[in-house]
Chain A
Amino acid sequence: MHPAASVILFSTLSGLGFGFLAFLGWGALAPSGWVAFFLWALGYGLAVAGLLASTFHLGNPKNALKAFTQWRTSWLSREAWASVVTLVLLAPVALSDIFGLVLPRVIGQVGGTLALLTVFTTAMIYTQIKAVPRWHHWLTPVMFLSFALAGGAMLSGRVVAPVLLVAVGAVLWAVWRVGDGAFARAGQTMGTATGLDRLGVPSVLDPAHTAGNYLKREMIFVVGRKHAAKLRKIALVLASIAPALVLLFQLGVWGIALAAVLHLAGALAARWLFFAEAEHVVGLYYGARG
């Protein structure tokens, strides 16, 4: 799948945002005044940036409100609901924190859980796609959630954060390990895609059109093996090991900031790979497993 920079940037940011909002909602920090404003603003900012980005990605955004209608079947619709409900529900909690109102914490806890649910719905948008075998696995939501939890824990200075960051690394490793064999396990080949496996082993003679098209741009992206291996190392180090180490040194706010920057860079690399390495079965028609 084509790793569009914007998709990667915003899905990463919104995952981090909702992860942080979850911790804020649960009361992990209990800040007040300007500090609270700043922290809640960071959480909201990251999450809303993601949502806004998603509308910018629409070909026809004037119908965006209709995306709330199909929650019975569509994970994208569910994500729309989950994100909006989360943001609405957490708003009084944020205000309560900033202005020192004493709202029952349970609202924050519900909102925080919904924030994670939002991340889950986002993950399910990808997970449900059977045509992309690498995504079509329970590890996909685990991966999205692990990033949200680790990122949220990191930004809220939880002691558990280094552990969660290491867990992100473990999950990433597992995602890659499992993902690398996913396409083959799915069992689809040019032969099954065309049914010509009945005859023998097909290969492409002529592409359907020599010109480019939406399918080729959107779903067929071939990433070099060496390039991917390097990026995986970078992602693993930056998203998981490096920020965990930084946090162990307990350098306070600056330490968290440094860890966050490292983690975010690693998360972006991991998310780039999430798209770039995902092969859509439609590529089989074009002779590209990618």
Chain B
Amino acid sequence: MNQPRVETQREVGDEVRQTTCYMCACRCGINVHLKSAKVAYIEGNRDHPINKGVLCAKGASGIMQVTAPSRLKAPLRRVGPRGSGAFEEISWEEALSTAVAWMKPLRETAPEKLAFFTGRDQSQSLTGWWAQNFGTPNYAAHGGFCSVNMAAGGIYTIGGAFWEFGQPDWDRTKLFVMFGVAEDHDSNPIKIGLGKLKARGARVISVNPVRTGYSAVADDWIGITPGTDGLLILSLIHCLLEAGKIDLDYLAQWTNAPLLINEAEGAEKGLFVRNAESQPFVIDQTSGHPAPWDGKGVQPDLGAEWQGNRTVFRHMVEEYLKPDYAPEAVASRCGVTATRIRQLAAELADVAFNHAITLDRPWTDFRGNEHPNMPGRPVSFHAMRGISAHSNGFQTARALHLLQILLGSLETPGGYRLKPPYPKPIEAHPTPHFVTTPGKPLTGPHLGYVRSPDDLCLLPDGSPARIDKGFSWENPFSAHGMMHMVIPNAHAGDPYKIDTLFLYMANMSWNSSMNSARVMEMLTEQKDGEYVIPRIIYSDAYASEMVAYADLILPDTTYLERHDCISLLDRPISEPDAAGDAIRWPVLEPDRDVRCFQSVLLELGARLGLPGMVNEDGTAKFKDYADYIVNHQRRPGVGPLMGFRGNGEAEGRGAPNPEQMHRYIENGAFYQAHVPEEAAFYKPWNAAYQDWAVKLGLYETPQPYLFNIWSEPMRRFQLAAEGFGPRQPPDHLRARLKQAMHPLPIWYAPFGDEDAAFGYSVHALTQRPMDMYHSWGSQNTWLRQIKGHNYLYLPTKIWEGQAFAEGDWARVSSRAGTIVVPVAHMAALNENTVWTWNAIGKRKGAWALDADAPEATTGFLLNHLISELLPDRDGVRLSNSDPITGQAAWFDQRVRVERVAAEDHPRGTVEPLFERIPDPPRADGGRGQNSSKNFAKSFRKLLVPDGETSR
């Protein structure tokens, strides 16, 4: 018999449209295959700089997201009590006029009464600009509970950061070390990079309490105790110093190691010694005299002592050579043996100094010194939430940058490389703006980089100007705001009451808040017949847990139905070798009465008459978001998109080009401006790079700078805490500021460690799975089949210590609460740590899932254990955050774990179990249910259980 004929020439669809994914924050390029105007298949765009054709599990399931029945379908107005989920559909006109009626009086009287916070927003340059023009100081996105330690720790130290703002030189690095890296950000680029390392057989080491994912494929795993990464890193630095394995030339040329520190007692102590021109300077080795830090041919003396003032280098060496940092002194605290620490230090030094590489590329530095080639130390690092989500995360991030600096690998071939618009020193960033004037915009952007106490956002009485207390003495460098504190503070009226809370795609009544149960109460609590937080406007595309807690819902589109820009003004898609930006455009028409949130925001802006959003005659300046993307100019010639400006040929700078959107679409929805070869490394000091960056519009003049081993802004806060200067912190914060604001990277125990004294000795972590993005994945039937519920993973010590058995549960308690959850044993885990997958647990009835869905019955959150406030100390409760940046300290969490035998938990559901929220009106559709098409099948169903087909 012949083989059957197989259809091998199937046409995937009738059209391919290229846009940008939004199934997470990675922003990969996708080819959306359409068949009869419906999505037929989604794959990665091979030409795209981020994903180069590959696509993750989420991205490849986008088709189930854009058809999910959880999609909201029309504007809604709350008709029942808040939280009840009772809504009525209203028209857009009604929705918009309601929102304007709420917001307009606030703008005219007290703009700060509007708090506008956006979640995993990829349009922050618009939303921030909108809030600035509204005039409220109360704006931020979700960075405060996400990554600000990483961003700020990096920018204050090296003018760039881990996360997605740089990457190892994947093609050249020989040793790659990850600290606390899981699938947090830059997911496909990191996977592509790991693939490259694996193909070359390069070595990968992971420092992580949990050995899964990237840590699982690493060639070596160091199962560190959470919150001690900084200590381990400083111990590695100790080892390197002890052996003299540091790059002196690199330190002398590119860092502030040779700058002199003022050692005279007084208000200047610890600041740089400055010359008559207020410039810090170095001592030239050849002359022994002061010389400009940026002078051509100067040979800075690292060991100088001048008029009793010693160099940063000497302070640093003295600090880290202390026996406190010896491996033997830190081993037990870190949960890593001294031998292992010394081995790791030896490996780092071996690769950096015995296996150095050189690229044959001449270049000139900003001082005018010419270099015949580009030497590289091919050891690279990456770090993510594992180090950033601790109350010592900022300093830990700084410590890791210091390690890279000492090895001389940063921005060299084989090391960690920054992506445009980084490198960018803090001097090139704005300071925060907050002064409100009714009816007027703020004078500048909300978020920025504080240089000294003068830049704090404080009211004349010294109280915080922002509702989240961002940029206050509690968290001076909160460069991303503190979204996790907005609801608790607004509820407490501390520092003041607000009127309208305006949120965008932030699931604050569930997985995006600490202490979710309490947040639900805060949102529904009434006083004198009015809600304590009087009005809540919320925009989301889906029926998330937050919907029920809003008074007015502005339904957003899905990612395939909208315009967006992934802009250099915000968080672009650059690579070390190219600046990159991208767009989304509606490859599908919405089939519901929903609108792109950013277009709605612009329309609200126009109706409110916000500057920049209205023409002189008061009409709307922008038709929609797409119009804004093309025609808005932030500075003359610089707009949201850099490509195809002016006549279509201009890059970076140029007049708005009406054809721009069209050109992006033709180009695969992205644009890249390539860094010239001679500018590709040593970027902070490379004259060719600086010139290229100015030409592109990243900044107006070259911005060369030195890496900040010693942080002067931090020292200024220490000085304030010591009593110097006109602006003084409240007394209860002095000690904490003195400790945390050490100008050198240091380590202090995470605040959560204090709970150990109360019997909560176990560390509790969460980790984002690679196949889910926060709470979004569960509405996607392909993804929810992969992870529909979660376990708390227990290490062998706890599992065997309490004789846990398969099917058992655990009562997990913290100082804030108790949960009862299913458990599983995991051997490849730090012995004092338990963990689970993040945001798998769902509230009953949310996301269009049945109330008895496993996500709601056996899926759970750790959030209920995590307080947003630290325990009371002398009548004050501070935010459970990093004292420097306000980053939510999710991973400080300590718990107690007690076995609940399966037979003692017959109900088999997690606790607490919240009551079901009724479905809001939402779209139909979604994945079809099983249909029984014929008689035989129906009959079969009578005989055998569903899905059974046995002979």
Contacts and interface: CB of A to CB of B under 8 A. Distances in A.
A7 B212 CA distance: 42
A211 B948 CA distance: 16
A57 B951 contact: yes
A210 B937 CA distance: 27
Contact of A59 (B212, B784, B824, B949): B949
Interface string B907-951: 000000000000000000000000000101101100111011111
B826 interface: yes
B785 interface: yes
B142 interface: no
B789 interface: yes
Interface in A51-68: 53-59, 61-62
A218 B948 contact: yes
A58 B943 contact: no
A6 B949 CA distance: 10
Contact of B785 (A58, A209, A217): A209
Contacts of B733: none
B663 interface: no
A4 B948 contact: yes
B787 interface: yes
A7 B951 contact: yes
A209 B939 CA distance: 30
A4 B944 contact: yes
Contact of B944 (A6, A54, A214): A6
B359 interface: no
B786 A210 contact: yes
A210 B785 contact: yes
B788 interface: yes
B215 to A, nearest CB: 13
Contacts of B212: 205
B941 to A, nearest CB: 10
A280 interface: no
A76 interface: yes
B375 interface: no
Contacts of A228: none
Contact of B788 (A4, A125, A210): A210
Contacts of B934: 62
A137 interface: no
Given A205-B826, A218-B950, A56 B943 contact: yes
Contact of A214 (B785, B788, B826, B947): B947
Contacts of B940: 56-59
Contacts of B789: 210
Interface in A208-245: 208-211, 214, 217-218
Contacts of B785: 209-211
Interface residues of B, number: 23
Contacts, number: 64
B858 to A, nearest CB: 9
Contacts of A61: 936
A2 B948 contact: yes
A76 B945 CA distance: 23
A59 B948 CA distance: 9
Contacts of B936: 55-56, 58, 61-62
B393 interface: no
Nearest to B947: A217
A4 B950 contact: yes
Given A210-B786, A210-B789, A6 B947 contact: no
Nearest to B769: A206
A2 B786 contact: no
Interface string B465-509: 000000000000000000000000000000000000000000000
Interface in B772-826: 784-789, 824, 826
B854 interface: yes
Contacts of B944: 4-7, 57
A209 B948 contact: no
A76 B951 contact: yes
Contacts of A4: 944-945, 948, 950
Q: Which secondary structure dominates where chain B touches chain A?
A: loop
Interface string B189-229: 00000000000000000000000100000000000000000
A54 B951 contact: yes
Interface string A1-43: 1101111000000000000000000000000000000000000
Contacts of A217: 945, 947-948
B949 A57 contact: yes
B259 to A, nearest CB: 50
A218 B826 contact: no
Contacts of A209: 785-786, 788
Contacts of B788: 209-211
Contact of B943 (A53, A125, A211, A218): A53
B327 to A, nearest CB: 28
Nearest to A213: B785
A57 B943 CA distance: 8
A61 B939 CA distance: 11
Interface string A47-88: 000000111111101100000000000001000000000000
Residue of A54, A58, A208 with highest tally of chain B CB at under 10 A:
A58
Contacts of A7: 944, 950-951
B939 A56 contact: yes
A84 B847 CA distance: 54
A210 B772 CA distance: 13
A58 B948 CA distance: 10
A1 B945 CA distance: 14
A286 B940 CA distance: 28
A125 to B, nearest CB: 7
A66 B949 CA distance: 18
A187 B155 CA distance: 58
A61 B854 CA distance: 34
A55 B943 CA distance: 12
B314 to A, nearest CB: 49
Contacts of A62: 934, 936
Nearest to B211: A205
B525 to A, nearest CB: 36
B943 A6 contact: yes
Contacts of A55: 936
Contacts of A208: 786
A269 to B, nearest CB: 18
A218 B944 CA distance: 11
A250 to B, nearest CB: 38
Given A56-B939, A56-B940, A56-B943, A210 B854 contact: yes
B10 to A, nearest CB: 22
A55 B784 CA distance: 34
Contacts of B947: 214, 217
Nearest to A204: B824
A217 B787 CA distance: 18
Nearest to A3: B950
Nearest to A7: B950
B951 A125 contact: yes
Contacts of B786: 208-211
Contact of A57 (B824, B945, B950): B950
Contacts of B949: 57-59, 218
Nearest to B826: A205
B784 to A, nearest CB: 7
Nearest to B945: A4
Nearest to A275: B950
Nearest to B828: A205
Contacts of A76: 951
25 contacts: A2-B950, A5-B944, A6-B943, A6-B950, A7-B950, A53-B943, A55-B936, A56-B936, A56-B940, A56-B943, A57-B940, A57-B950, A58-B949, A62-B934, A125-B951, A205-B212, A205-B824, A205-B826, A209-B785, A210-B785, A210-B787, A210-B789, A211-B785, A217-B947, A218-B949
Interface of A: 1-2, 4-7, 53-59, 61-62, 76, 125, 205, 208-211, 214, 217-218, 275
Q: What are the 5 tightest A-B residue pairs by CB atom distance, in nearest-first order?
A: A211-B785, A6-B943, A210-B788, A4-B950, A61-B936
Given A62-B936, A209-B788, 4 more contacts: A57-B940, A57-B951, A211-B786, A218-B948
